[in-house]
Structure formats: C-alpha cells, structure tokens
Amino acid sequence: MLKIDRRLIKNFDWITLLLITALSLIGIMTIYSATRPPLGVGEHPDFYAKQMLWFVISMTALIAVVSVNYIWLYRISYPLYALGLILLIVVLFTGRTSMGAQRWLSIGPVSFQPSEFFRIFFIAGFTAYLTNIGNRFTEKIPLKSIMIFAIFPLILLIKQPDLGTAILLMSLFVILSVSKGISRKITTVIIIIGLISIPFLGNIFWEGLKEYQKNRLIAFIDPDIDPAGIGYHIAQSKISVGSGGFFGKGYLKGTQGPLRFLPEKHTDFIFAVFAEEWGFIGSALLLGIYLLLFLRGLDTAMKAKDEFGRLTATGITAMFFIYFCVNIGMTLGIMPVVGVPLPFVSYGGTALLSNFIAAGILINIRTRRFELFYP
Amino acid sequence: MTLYRIKLGSYIVIGILLVFGFRLWQLQILDGDKYKRLSEDNRLRILKTPAPRGIIYDRNETPLVKNIPFFSVSITTDNPKKIDIDSLSALLGLKRQEVEEKLYRKDNSPFVPIKLKQGLSFGEIARIEAGRSDFPGLFVETDVGREYLFGKVGAHIIGYLGKITQSQMKNPGLRHFPPDALIGQWGVEALHDAQLRGIPGERIIEVDALGRELRLIQERPSVKGNDVSLSIDINIQKAVEDSFRSKAGALVALKPDTGEILAFESLPSFDPNTFSRGIVYEDWKALMDDKKKPMLNRAVQSQYPPGSTFKIITAIAALEEGVIHSETKVICTGGINFGKWTFGCWKKGGHGSVDFHKGIVESCDVYFYELGKRLGMDRIYKYADAFGLGRETGIDLVPVKERQGLIPNTEWKKEKKRIPWYLGDTFISAIGQGYVTTTPIQMAVMMSTFANGGTVYKPTLIKGEHRPVGAIKLKPDTIEMIKDALSGVINESNGTAQGARSSLTVIGGKTGTAQVVGKKKGAVAERFMDHAWFVAFAPVDKPEIALSVFVEHGGGGGAVAAPIAKKAIEAYMKSKNGQEAAAKSMTHGSQPIGGQKDAEN
C-alpha cells in the first residue's frame, strides 16, 4: 500500500507543506522566546524542545497520511466519528481536569485531548454523510443528521467545557451544509428560527457557561471594567501587540511574555508575543502566510476530483480559518477571549499533530486530484 | 454551484484578513507609542524609599528625637477575592470590616502594595512572619518612625508625627504623598516638616505581573532631612517638668537679648510616642476626654488676669510718665474707700507708709491704686501694649492657635461694654485684675522685654534666630529702680517671693494671683484655689533668662510658682556652666560635640 507513485511526487502539494512548516518553525521560535525565564535567570523551560519533538512526530504522521489515498478516510469515516464520540464520553467520566475543564485523557504515559482529534473525525464523518445523502439534503435537512452531527457532540463539548471546539463544530456544521448547498427556503427558515430562538438559546448558553467564561465575555464587551481582573488578558494582549510598533522590539527582546504580564503566552496568546517582537512587518508577514494557506486550501477544494474531497478540503480549511480568526481576533481585542490555539504556531503537541494530520489530508486531496479511479 | 460558494469563501477570507491587518495597523502604528509606554509601565515600578528625617536637637546639641524603624504590613494582590479575609484579619488582629475596606478600596492597584496595619510591635511582626506563608504577597515593610527620647518633656513644642489626614492631602504641597505617609502633625515636627522631611529616594525596579520584584534597574538614594536645632535647653525642660509636681500650668523662659525660647512647658503633657506609633482610637479619645486637658497648650492658650505681676507695667508707666518719683509715699490702711466701694489691699492690716520700693517688694495694692489713679487707664494701656501684652506674641506653633489676652482701655470699654470707664476699673486694672488677661507667653515676653531694656522680640524656638518686633525706650533710672525692687521681692526679708531665692545667682521677680471666680471663704477644694503667677529674670545685673510661670489653682504666687521659677533658673545656670566646662574640655582635645551628633544620626 505504501508504494510511492511517481505521479504522487510530481503532483505533491509542496506549497501547503512549505507554509505549515514555516508556521511551525515560527511557532517553535516564538515559544522559545515566550517561555524564556525572566531576565535570563533560571532554567529555560523545555516547551520549545517538546514542540520540536512533536513537530518531527507530526511531520512523520503527515507523510503517512499523504501516502494513503484519502478514499480510505471516506471508508472509515463513520467508525472514526463513532470512536470520536465515545472518546468524548469517556473523557467526561475519566478525564483529567486542568484549568477548570475536563479535557485530557491519559493512555499510559501519553495524555491527549480527544477533542483535538474529534475535529477531524467530525469533518470526515459529516462530509461522508453529506456525500452519501446526495441531493436530498438540499431540500430538507434530516433531523437525524442535526441530532448526530450537531446537538449530540455539542452537548458533550459544552459539558467539558470546551467552548472553543463547540464553536468550531457549530461553524463547521453551517459552513459544510452551505457548501453542500441548501435551498433558499431552508436558509430562510433557519434564519427565522435562529432569530426567534436567540433569546432562549442565549439564556441557555449563558447559564451553561462557567464563571470564567462569563467573565471573559463581560470583559470583552467592556475591557475597562476591571483591567486587572477579567479584562486583564485583553488589555495585556493589546499592550503586547501595540508596543511592538512598526519594526517590533526584536527577537528575544519582548518583555510582556517573559515578565509574565501576558497569560498563556506560549499557547493562546502566542501571536501577541510574536507581534511584540516582530512588529507590524512581522505580523503582516505571518498573516500573509496564513492567507496563502487558506487560499491554497480553498483552491484544493475547487480542484478536488470528487465531492468528498471537495467538502473535506473545505471543512479542513474552514477549521484552520476559524481557529485563526478566533485566536487572532482575541489577541487583537476584537473578539472575546476563547481559549483557542493558533494553528501550527501555539504550543501543544496534540493540536500540532492533529493539524498536521488535517493538513496531510488537504495535501492528499490536492496531490491525488488527477487520479480518476479509486485503486 | 458549490465552486461559486468556495470562491465566495475566498473573498470572505481575504476580507477578514484585511480587517485583521487594519487592526494591526491601528494597534501597532497608530497607537504604538501609547502601548509602548504602557508596556514600559508594566515592567517598571517606581518605589519610594523613605528619607531619614532630620533630627531635632536642643540648644546644646542634645538630640531630642531618634529615627526608629516603623513597621507596617502590606499585601500585594491582583485579586482581593482570593484572600481569606477572616484568617487574615485574625492574623493581623484587625476587624474583618477594616481589612475588607482596605482591600476593596476603589483606587487600589494590583501593583501597589496595600498597607493593612502600621506601627507593628515585634510580637506582631513575629506572628505575621510565621503566618505569612498562607497569604502570598503579604510582607512587612519598614518605614522611618520617630522615638521621642524625652517622652512628655517638651512634647508641646517638639510635637509628633502622624498619618497624613484627608484635609492635608488636599494641600498642594502634600498632594503627592501616599495616603499612609507620616508627617509632622504638631509642634516643631509640623512647623518644620518640610525641612525635616528630606527627599525620599527612588528605586526603579522591574517587576512581574504579580508585582514581585525581579531586578533593581536604577536607584536614587534618599536624602536625609535637615536637622533642626531648637533654642530650648532640655535640662531646663526636665527640671520644670519635675518641679510642677503634677500640677497643671505652664512655664516659658526666654533669652532676653534674642527672644529665643529656653524652656517651654505646658503641663500636664502627653507622650508623643503614643502618636508616632500609630495612635489607637481609644488612646486618642482618652487624651481628648482627659479632664486635665493634656492637649491644651497652657502657655499660649490659658488667659487669666496676671494679678500683681502686672504691677511691673503700672510701675514702669508711673516712672516713665513721671507721676511719681522714688520718694513718693502712700499710706496703706488695708484698703481705700471710693464712693460706696471699698478696694482692699491683700494685707488686711495695711502696709502703713509705702514708697516705690516697698510697694513692689511687698506688693501693696493700695500703692498701685494710687498709681493707677494718677496715670489713668489709657496711659497704663500704652505701656502694657508696648510690652507686648494683650496681643499675640507671634510664636509659631502648629496647629495650636495662640490666644490674645486683653488689655482694656477707656475706648475699648465704651465700644464693647457700652458703659463708660470708671476709676474703679482703673484701680483693679492697675493691679492686674478685672478685665486684664494675659497668657503665660505674653508675661514671659513682658519680663524679657524689661530685662533687655525695652526690645520686644517675637519668641522663637529656633536656635540663633532673633526677630525684634517692637521697642520702647525706658529711662535708665526706671530700669534701675524696678530691677532693684524686683530683686527685693525675692532677696529681701519682707519680699513676697523668698521661695525663689537662689544661691547660684541673683534673681529678680514678681508674684501674682489670678482670683478664681466663685471662690468661697475658707474653701479648701483645689478647684477653688487661685491661679498662681510668677515672672522672673536672672541674673539681675545682666539678665540671661527671663521667664513666666503659671500654675493652675496654685494658690499664692510666692508659695508655688516662685520655687518652680527658681528651679528653672538654676537648671539654666547649671546647664550653662556644664556647657562651658564641655567647651573648655573640647579645646583640650577631647571628642568634639559635633562628632557625638553624627553618631546619633
């Protein structure tokens, strides 16, 4: 199965690989800077080294994913989705709690967040479903599909709680449904039901939030309420980004991160550390890399040879884009603080691995766009 | 169809990235400078280090105060809700409500330590250090506090340090002070606060988000406040404190040729150390409610009829105006009748034939009624006024307000009382009773002005300062005759103040009694006893010290007040001789006084 086809190398999507490698290296560099001990005194935490190791693992996983035809993903997508749901249920009962959320599962020495992989399983499962259902979907979205692919996973995620993944899944559900194509009638009905139910949903949503999540939303609406309390993250993040100026303070010259003004500096707020050190020029360049990655992903979707490939590429690109938007929007103070990592850049082994696997699927779809027959 | 949707998606992606780009431009370029400044503030904290306060010395360079470490406990926290307030208030021995108030003050910043309690004892420090581990961010701070080495002695002039008050914070000069700053609140500590205070140092440190110190960036050491040398001699102060023997009253001693205050006591006094250690409400209330009024500065705030001490003024007026000469004689039969009124002499049997000298030495009232009659009130007023009586002496004391006293004249009575001045008014005014009231410090200024030959100085507490504020030219004969008579009061066998006779020097003086209204015949209760006055100067031929003594309910001036004056003058003489001996030994190569002074800092 692992025989390397010459066409595979000829058509390989080097650009996507180059873009995500660049992002990962920028990430490792920034993690190194963000976690350096204050004033250079004391030991340097080995986050960057761990991330490098995960980068190697992730790259290996990507190569493995690319070498297998993505039709296999289609074939095992339902079992994968079921496995994902089971893992989410398991984590609710036996998961390790960290920072007020029960997200981690330990298998032997390895601990990981099932929701990181569930994202991919969800995309695979839902696109497979959309592919199978054919054009019936456009006329009437079956209630069954809403239950299985929206309500059920949503409940499990909010229970953890994992607000970031929950938002992602809701968005992906809508984006994939729209890309599949739904009639104007259904769109109108959805919008009307949505508008009517906002107050109810809003209330249920608000009550379902943990205290820190409510605080974050309040802080987002008015960061000046208590800059040292709930608005602190936003205020400090803006200070970090803004103080970078045009040219930035220079690599390893940022002060916000090492001096611990910036919370979660190597995970959720890594862009703030980067922007402080590299300024407007560096930040614009980084945004440029992402833009290329997204456009490339959408281009892959357009060039995909089948509907499953097209929807999967759309879903994966959308996933990267949503995480990117929520993260950067939060860092720049234009969206609420939701604990979402910046894809490829933020520290986190499971996330990097799952993003590389997702990117591997993207590359896979693009690389095999000329293969007309399933092997 | 779906391809078109994906294309639309690309436009959405580009649009959102443009929004992010715009936001980046806004934060990093448009507001970049603002955020740069904020990030600097984030990193750097400026901590003030208290400056050692200037030392207050007496005129012989004896330190009166000492700087001591003043401990307080503070907490740095980014979220007061995280603190277990119950156990914290238990640890500090404060009420829960007090701690809460401090922690939840609106203007608290997570980067500035919140002072929870000041003036900790060593026991409290030990307790806090032991329980500190439960409260991250809790630490004991050291400030500069004050110890008043002589306690109650001189407390009214030295004063004390206290927490800055709300109204003082509004003062432009004090506005930048932290809310817990200790500043001079009373006496010299308050009056010369700016000079004593010094310049606080600055430590610019790099801190983390929890305000923990990481590194010292820059340090500007504090500059010690300037020392202040007072004109007072602590030896006299101590002697005075002792000699009052728990009686209430005041003593003011001046250096006649400069107006420098050599001694200034108002008794009972208070212990300034109670204040500088952060007075508790109970102690404050006890001081305020004390019937003996220890916070009352009797030297400038007690005003009573000066009694016979005022006869000095009447005598000077009579001699200067030429209404009498030394041989003028008056027959005293124990009183004079004037219309239906009888004005008695204190000696019921009368003094017989009284001349000027005898009139003063034996304090014959009838003699002075006669002088008053010859002078008229307005001429007495002229001299009393020239000697600084009936108006503020101008001594600088904070926050105490000096009282004015009163010297009446005919015009004053017409204006204020709406009745004419009677001769009887002149009689009682001439012997310092009736409307005439003075403060102890005014009487000291009067005595000092006479002793220096007629120059009125504003009394000052600062060594070496002298500010003449008025002068009266007196005939040498007048000075000679009165000096002679005042010396007789003490040193002659018929004098009224033989209790002030000293073997160390020749003292001249005059007793006085301020009658207490409501006195019943034969009453013995202390509160009905007369107030005693005594004014004195020494040595008579070349005065170096002039003073007034006032003893509340002291009875006759000669019995209680005169011995106090003698003790003060003798203390001055001994202290002066001691200083001269020290000065002599200094020239023989022993340790200079200046060296000791530095060692005390």
Q: How many CA atoms are closer than 13 Å to the CA of B303, on its beta-carbon side? A: 19
Which residue from B348, B352, B364, B353 is spatially nearest to B315, judged by alpha carbons? B364
Chain A residues touching residue B214 (CB < 8 angstroms): 38-39, 259
Q: Which amino acid is at B438?
A: T
Chain A residues touching residue B208 (CB < 8 angstroms): 38, 259-261
Region B311-382+406-428: CATH code: 3.40.710.10
Which among B6, B20, B39 has the least Cβ separation from residue A255? B39
Task: Give ∠ CA A48-A53-A55 in degrees, rounded to 5.
Answer: 90
Residues in chain B whose Cβ is within 8 Å of chain A: 1-3, 5-7, 9-10, 13-14, 16-17, 19-21, 23-25, 27-29, 31-36, 38-39, 42-43, 78-79, 109-110, 206-210, 214-215
Note whether B440 and B267 are within 8 A (CB): no
Contact across the interface for B43 and A298, Cβ inside 8 Å: no
Residue labelled with tokens 């930040």:
A283
User: Cα(B214)–Cα(B541) distance, rounded to whole angstroms?
Assistant: 71
Instruction: Give the model's confidence band at B459: pLDDT under 50 very low, under 70 low, under 90 confident, else very high.
Output: very high
B173 pLDDT higher than 80: no
Q: Which H or E element spans position B551?
A: strand B545-551
Give DSSP secondary structure letters for A254-268.
--TTTTT-STTTTTT
- Which of B308, B363, B429, B487 is catalytic? The answer is B308
ipTM: 0.89
Instruction: Give the model's confidence band at B596: pLDDT under 50 very low, under 70 low, under 90 confident, else very high.
Output: very low
Which among B1, B27, B29 has the least Cβ separation from residue A181? B1
Contact across the interface for B32 and A259, Cβ inside 8 Å: no
Chain A residues touching residue B79 (CB < 8 angstroms): 228-229
Contact across the interface for B10 and A261, Cβ inside 8 Å: no
Beta carbons within 8 Å of A104's beta carbon, 6+ residues apart: A91, A95, A96, A97, A98, A111, A112, A113
Whether the bond into B268 is cis, omega within 30 of 0: yes
A60 pLDDT higher than 80: yes
User: Cα(B319)–Cα(A79) distance, rounded to whole angstroms?
Assistant: 128
Mean pLDDT of B372-383: 94
pLDDT value of residue B593: 43
B440 pLDDT higher than 90: yes
Which among A259, A280, A301 has the least Cβ separation from residue B6? A301
pLDDT value of residue B90: 86
User: Cα(A365)–Cα(B152) distance, rounded to whole angstroms?
Assistant: 94
> Residue A106: what are its φ and ψ, rounded to 5°?
-115, 130
Contact across the interface for B35 and A321, Cβ inside 8 Å: no
B344 pLDDT higher than 70: yes
Q: Which two tokens stand for residue A180?
A: 């599949």
pLDDT value of residue B13: 94
Chain A residues touching residue B4 (CB < 8 angstroms): none
Chain A residues touching residue B28 (CB < 8 angstroms): 241-242, 244-246, 275, 279-280, 283
- Regarding predicted confidence, which is higher, B586 or B382? B382
Q: Which of A204-218, B145-159, B531-545 has the lowest mean pLDDT?
A: A204-218
Q: Can you give the residue ranges of every domain in chain A?
A: 6-367
Summarize chain A as % helix, strand, coil (round to 5): 70, 5, 25
Contact across the interface for B28 and A275, Cβ inside 8 Å: yes
Beta carbons within 8 Å of A367's beta carbon, 6+ residues apart: A8, A11, A12, A13, A66
Q: Which of A188-197, B421-430, B505-514 has the lowest mean pLDDT?
A: A188-197
A196 pLDDT higher than 70: no
> Residue B107's closest chain A neighbor by CA?
A226
B106 pLDDT higher than 90: no
| B39 is an active site residue | no
Contact across the interface for A321 and B78, Cβ inside 8 Å: no
Contact across the interface for A261 and B34, Cβ inside 8 Å: no
Q: Hey, is B91 helix, strand or coil?
A: helix
Whether the bond into B539 is cis, omega within 30 of 0: yes
Mean pLDDT of A164-191: 79
Note whether B316 and B482 are within 8 A (CB): yes
Looking at the complex, report in whole angstroms how far the Cα of residue B78 sits from the nearest Cα belonging to chain A: 7
Contact across the interface for A287 and B17, Cβ inside 8 Å: yes
Q: Dump pLDDT digits (tens) for A230-268.
A: 466 777 888 889 999 999 999 988 877 666 667 677 888
Mean pLDDT of B474-495: 92
Looking at the complex, report in whole angstroms how far the Cα of residue A156 sits from the nearest Cα belonging to chain B: 29
User: Cα(B205)–Cα(B203) distance, rounded to whole angstroms?
Assistant: 6
Which among A181, A298, A332 has the least Cβ separation from residue B9? A298
pLDDT value of residue B292: 86
Contact across the interface for B10 and A295, Cβ inside 8 Å: yes
pLDDT value of residue A317: 96
Task: Spell out the alpha helix ranges (H) of B177-259.
Answer: 187-191, 193-197, 234-243
Q: Which two tokens stand for residue B248?
A: 């209430």
Chain B residues touching residue A321 (CB < 8 angstroms): 13
Chain A residues touching residue B110 (CB < 8 angstroms): 228
Q: Can you give the residue ranges of every domain in chain B?
A: 70-143, 311-382+406-428
pLDDT value of residue B287: 83
- Regarding predicted confidence, which is higher, A38 or B245? B245
Mean pLDDT of A67-83: 92
Q: Which two tokens stand for residue B318?
A: 């009579």
Mean pLDDT of B169-188: 76
Which residue from B550, B496, B373, B517 is spatially nearest to B434, judged by alpha carbons? B517
Contact across the interface for A295 and B1, Cβ inside 8 Å: no
User: Cα(A313)–Cα(A302) distance, rounded to whole angstroms?
Assistant: 9
Cα B207 versus chain centre, distance: 43
Task: Give ∠ CA B545-B547-B551 in degrees, rounded to 5.
Answer: 150
Instruction: Give the model's confidence band at B523: pLDDT under 50 very low, under 70 low, under 90 confident, else very high.
Output: very low
Region B70-143: CATH code: 3.30.70.2110
User: Cα(A290)–Cα(B85) distance, rounded to whole angstroms?
Assistant: 49
Whether the bond into A161 is cis, omega within 30 of 0: yes
Contact across the interface for B14 and A291, Cβ inside 8 Å: yes
Q: Hey, is B213 helix, strand or coil?
A: strand
DSSP state of B462: B
Q: Which of A34-48, A83-97, A190-204, B485-499 has the lowest mean pLDDT?
A: A190-204
pLDDT value of residue B598: 40
Q: Hey, is B211 helix, strand or coil?
A: coil
User: Cα(B500)–Cα(B251) distance, rounded to whole angstroms?
Assistant: 15
Note whether B297 and B395 are within 8 A (CB): no
B358 pLDDT higher than 90: yes
Q: Dump pLDDT digits (tens) for B220-245.
A: 788 899 999 999 999 999 999 999 88
Q: Which amino acid is at B203?
A: R
Which among B27, B29, B209 has the least Cβ separation from residue A260? B209
> Residue A271's closest chain B neighbor by CA?
B24
Mean pLDDT of A122-134: 89
Q: Cβ of A146: how many Cβ atoms within 10 Å?
A: 13
Q: What percent of chain B lies above the pLDDT cut of 70?
A: 87
Which among A259, A290, A332 has the least Cβ separation from residue B43? A259
